[in-house]
Structure 1
């Protein structure tokens, strides 16, 4: 067989370069590419110009804001020799000299990176101490970059102290950590500390737009704004999400769309949240619960719904203050926020914030998240129908309303011959001295349909086996009508007991969220609100 058939005379095929994720591909190579850290860059630049360089730097901040990238940039800045080989330390390293290229590629012999998470012991630090005594091989400074330095053991920290306090002139230490509170104060006092800020969402969105353009991918501004918010100030997290969104878009050329990003991240549709917020303000309990279930059926986390509602309240408050719109807001969203801002007072907004924040915390810990979210929304609705506690207190003080008028219901409707709702059914049973049945209806039944003498319901817990038979007989005796009672599998609305609990909690939260009570509790942190409902009833 000839060599040509074996392919031996064919030129070797070039090896395809492995794909690099966006977070690595767009790692900043100069300080000008490092976004959101202008104060730190200015401080470093001034220190280099004045030759006032510290021997140890500590870089802190949340994940993905550029701590390790900054450490490498500092290493390049200190060891750059310029294109002509005659340069000195500079805040704008050239990127073309051998030290710059070697550091960028991670192969410079005098720039040693160590991950403290996997090198935690005193033996690892002893190696650094011994090696630091020798001059740099080819660079101006020998630089040690220790990532996640808080992971070092106590013995390792103690072994490093003396060298860190009086290092050789040719050695620089660069530490990075996400948990600066775990670094001993003896180490902190020997370092120049830089706290890297979370990157603002609008700045991240602009950065992602530039990356998308460089990748030749079309991306909707709203999609990039959603990614920026989900990144929570982390450029690396945001680029990882953008990478996923580009892959999610596929090869059809559709680009990165806001709806696709929401589905990918399990985020709630902001338009749907605005509708839900409007239903809450209107006091439409059934509509609000249906809207919540619609989002839940789409796969949206109940906690994410409450988080977006909190963002909406915050946006309304900023709009009421006259603040500029945030990045990524549509004209429709800005108009809605302005309309709500015009109709809501600051006390009402503060009360909404407190109620939703409490609901968010409850859902995070709840065994039944969607049910806890429903209860939280019902609490908000009931609270919106209550009088403002501050205004009510002022009216009571000036005598424009009496205590009994404030506490008593507006009217007491007469009981119909045939109950028309589950609440009337409970009252009817109690009037006819069927107290056990009344308690079971109030505590266990979740109404699905109540139409005349036809009553369909779900059960919050297992009912006695003869419950329906006994209830039907009692109603037939007291109303003279044969009732059609049916227990169904549907969840139904809340039981009367659950509704009462939500209403009482909403009333209490409304009082706690009022400016007067909030100020009192802030002044007296150990104070508690005791017996609000009982005290009202006693006064009435």
Structure 2
């Protein structure tokens, strides 16, 4: 097999396989584990939050955990036949549905008909409906009766990034779990673990740049990490990351804030022209300036830098 054929993107290769592996969502993984331990499994769960923070991953872990035949501490073993079937996408008891492309009332009627039948192998039959907010109004209405009076073997897990589009009648029948945006420190720590395991040399400033660019999404950070590795190879520096991602250098923000402090309008215009001429993202520039002044205010009012999301060099400045 060629290197191209054997390459697996980081987000897939490092997808968590147990609740304990999930980063930054302890309030959710603890609750789900406790529910399984106490045999208080609800018939419908609604996972909501930004993209790439673990909604579908937690749904799959739960699907394996509730049917695992060799569970340890209520975590899936990922070795038994039931777990392997789910991992390999061939389980008849765990069905994943894309709500965006299976959103008609006819699709939901088929689901309801199949949901009546008991699971073939495990204790539960689980339906994971991703992007559930994309279902039509009639499709949501068709789900109501099943959610109201589900058979004892049935579990639904709905995942959405747009909770406001899910009808209140559906919300009231589900346990809602709000997934959090990832903190920069959590993303940096996880990327550091990955880079060490993959034998990639990368400095702290580079990790922070990638984490901030991901905007709270662990999956996005791993995709960006792959992009940077393709550009830099196995040795990554902050300057190379800035080139790869076309990021505005931190010096720009310090120069601009200095110009503002000195009332140097000409310098401000010159710096602004440079940003436009080099094709930088103007929204990213404005966000960077807001962050710069937020950091100034934070340091001046709290007499500390522990609340600043930046690498050590920028923090010291």
TM-score by length of 2: 0.94
CA deviation digits over 1:158-184, x for unaligned, max 9?
A: 111111111111111111011111111
The reply on whether 1:334 has 2:311 as its aligned counterpart is no
Structure 2 partner of 1:156: 139
Structure 1 partner of 2:205: 222
C-alpha contact 2:242 2:248 (8 A) present in aligned 1: yes
CA deviation digits over 1:9-67, x for unaligned, max 9?
A: xxxxx576432111111111111111110011111122122221101110000110111
- The match for 1:125 among 108, 114, 119 is 108
- The match for 1:62 among 30, 33, 50 is 50
> Based on CA coordinates, which of the two structures has the bigger radius of gyration?
1
Cα distance in structure 2, aligned partners of 1:53 and 1:325: 38
C-alpha contact 1:60 1:176 (8 A) present in aligned 2: yes
- The match for 2:63 among 75, 81, 90 is 75
Aligned with 2:103: secondary structure? coil
C-alpha contact 1:113 1:144 (8 A) present in aligned 2: yes
Aligned with 2:24: secondary structure? coil
- The match for 2:124 among 136, 141, 149 is 141
The reply on whether 1:100 has 2:107 as its aligned counterpart is no
Structure 1 partner of 2:160: 177
The reply on whether 1:286 has 2:274 as its aligned counterpart is no
CA, structure 1 residues 233+91, in 2 after alignment: closer, same or farther (shift >3 Å)?
farther
Cα distance in structure 2, aligned partners of 1:326 and 1:104: 39
C-alpha contact 2:97 2:128 (8 A) present in aligned 1: yes
The reply on whether 1:308 has 2:249 as its aligned counterpart is no
C-alpha contact 2:67 2:122 (8 A) present in aligned 1: yes
How is 1:357-368 mapped onto 2 (pairs within 5 angstroms)? Answer: none
- The match for 2:7 among 19, 26, 46 is 19
After TM superposition, give the deviation of residue 294 of structure 1 in Å.
3.2
CA deviation digits over 1:125-182, x for unaligned, max 9?
A: 1111111111101111111111001111111111111111111111111110111111
The reply on whether 1:241 has 2:235 as its aligned counterpart is no
CA deviation digits over 1:353-374, x for unaligned, max 9?
A: xxxxxxxxxxxxxxxxxxxxxx
Structure 2 partner of 1:188: 171
Cα distance in structure 1, aligned partners of 2:112 and 2:282: 52
- The match for 1:37 among 5, 25, 44 is 25
CA deviation digits over 1:427-448, x for unaligned, max 9?
A: xxxxxxxxxxxxxxxxxxxxxx
C-alpha contact 1:220 1:258 (8 A) present in aligned 2: yes
Structure 1 partner of 2:279: 299
C-alpha contact 2:53 2:217 (8 A) present in aligned 1: yes
After TM superposition, give the deviation of residue 98 of structure 1 in Å.
1.3
After TM superposition, give the deviation of residue 327 of structure 1 in Å.
4.7
Cα distance in structure 1, aligned partners of 2:281 and 2:119: 54
- The match for 1:50 among 30, 38, 53 is 38
C-alpha contact 1:67 1:196 (8 A) present in aligned 2: yes
- The match for 1:260 among 227, 237, 240 is 240
Cα distance in structure 1, aligned partners of 2:244 and 2:95: 39
Cα distance in structure 2, aligned partners of 1:207 and 1:15: 28
The reply on whether 1:322 has 2:310 as its aligned counterpart is no
Aligned with 2:201: secondary structure? coil
Cα distance in structure 2, aligned partners of 1:237 and 1:57: 25
Cα distance in structure 2, aligned partners of 1:293 and 1:330: 29
After TM superposition, give the deviation of residue 112 of structure 1 in Å.
0.5
Cα distance in structure 2, aligned partners of 1:186 and 1:40: 23
C-alpha contact 2:99 2:134 (8 A) present in aligned 1: yes
Cα distance in structure 2, aligned partners of 1:108 and 1:70: 17
C-alpha contact 2:29 2:58 (8 A) present in aligned 1: no
After TM superposition, give the deviation of residue 287 of structure 1 in Å.
2.1
CA, structure 1 residues 70+299, in 2 after alignment: closer, same or farther (shift >3 Å)?
same
After TM superposition, give the deviation of residue 290 of structure 1 in Å.
2.2
Aligned residues: 314
The reply on whether 1:202 has 2:182 as its aligned counterpart is no
Cα distance in structure 2, aligned partners of 1:79 and 1:103: 10
C-alpha contact 1:44 1:91 (8 A) present in aligned 2: no
The reply on whether 1:275 has 2:255 as its aligned counterpart is yes
